[in-house]
Amino acid sequence: MKIFLDTADIESIKRANDTGLLDGITTNPSKVLESGKKFYDVIKEICQIVKGPVSAEAVAVKAEDIVKEAVIIAGIAPNVVIKVPMTHEGLKASFMLKEKGIKVNVTMVFAADQVLLALKTNPTFVSIVISRLDKIGGDVVALINDSVKIKQNYGFNGEILAASIKNRANVIDCMKAGIDIVTLPENIFFDMFNHPQTEYGLREFDVAWDNVKKAGLA
């Protein structure tokens, strides 16, 4: 499973990228606003740090306008992926962008039938949005499992990307189901390194090593 960071914060991206475990980045207008930087500048800077895919959102409504906007954004760097909405116009744009050789991430997907429609446009990614569904009492685990099953049933190439993840349990559900990619906030990414028993065991080893040295056995 690939791990993306969901942010436009440059320092967060550098910290995660330094682990060698980061596969890509997703952003959205809210993340860019939080960064306090101009949209094109921040996307360019991210692409200079991260070798993997960097998803940036086209916000136009009509398919033709989405494509015009996407062509400009995609020109920032070769690893840019254009996020388009799970709408009639967004999926039209997905087809059109694929013909232009521009990678697409269909986003704001909340149901199994939406997953199917999005995958039929042959995008690079289809982003199922976890926390928003959870807020309205939707069955998050069912969506995760159904998305993987739909892709497998029909042999689609697009990768299923689980977005807006808010806890490690969501990540584990995605791992069990065989989700292709999760995109995480920095705190969850680094929390995955931790477990109380890991810390406890390492402290025990430190004490034992001190005793080894005191005994002159080092």
Catalytically active residues are 83
Nearest to 112 by CA among 177, 175, 57: 177
Query: Which helix (H) or strand (E) covers residue 217, if one does?
Result: none
For residue 22, CA distances in Å to 80, 131, 171, 195 come to: 16, 22, 15, 20
User: Where are the strands (E) in the chain, listed by range?
Assistant: 2-6, 24-26, 54-57, 80-85, 104-109, 125-129, 159-163, 181-184
Q: What are phi and psi of 11, to 5 degrees?
A: -65, -40
Tokens of 130: 């976890």
Let me know the angle formed at the C-alpha of 25 by 24 and 29, rounded to the nearest 5 degrees: 165
Other CB atoms within a 10 A radius of the CB of residue 64 amount to 12
